[in-house]
Structure 1
């Protein structure tokens, strides 16, 4: 009999990651673990951390999961510089795509200005009246 239960996220995460790793190894061979990397770059202004970018590299893709600049440091092109740093790393690693998401009240025009293209959008996500945008920048 199949039973459904709520479980701790960490327990389930580990099991699901194992399933995906097995699928990847079956499909790609033993290149799985060596092709995953977390990238984090901080931006400092007068020795104070004022922004940063966090991304995950997997195979030939980098997904930017976080990019933010403190209110007082906006307008100094820090966000664009952080994106350029990720793109330099991406080119060195043979990355084909950089992907990211943003919400309609955040940085849609900023990403377009930096060469990213919207490939999908979801209205009313994560709440009614907000649109979530999915961006891609193809490097090759």
Structure 2
């Protein structure tokens, strides 16, 4: 039997759901746990409700993955990043996560994560002489 293998940069929501649900089923059969769940902490404009920045990620099988953390320049240095990270970390702990993982790039926020107790555990070189820097943080003693 032959199959079409399709490369796309525009997967449909149904495509992504099929792959995600299939992996969830496999993980449940193998580990007996089905706990993958999105985790987001958003900064909203109090007048308009517009999202101004925030953190997105997920928790699964005892691990918290930070996918994205963004604040526009005008909100940086205000303590919002620290609040966002702390709220996400607390929620990950409530969900039973024992560790968190994030990667950043040299020009993004490695100092921010280090300041908040994250430990670098690896670097992967990318273009332009830069590296992706991987951090982890223990959430429970």
Output the TM-score relative to the length of structure 2.
0.81
Give structure 2 stretches of 5+ with no counterpart: none
Q: Give 1:87-126 correspondences, 5 Å limit.
A: 87-124=89-126
Contact 1:39 1:55 in 2 (8 A): yes
Q: Distance in 2 between matches of 1:82 and 1:130?
A: 26
**The 10-residue stretch of structure 1 (7-16 or 70-79) with the greater mean CA deviation from structure 2:** 7-16
Secondary structure of the equivalent of 2:129? coil
Moved runs in structure 1, 4+ residues, more than 6 A?
none
TM-score (norm 1): 0.81
The aligned length equals 135
Mapping 1:69-84, distance limit 5 Å: 69-84=71-86
How far residue 19 of structure 1 moved from its aligned partner, in angstroms, is 4.7
RMSD between superposed Cα atoms in Å = 2.3
SS at match of 1:39: strand
Offset at 1:120? Answer: 1.1
**Helix, strand or coil: the match of 1:128?**
helix
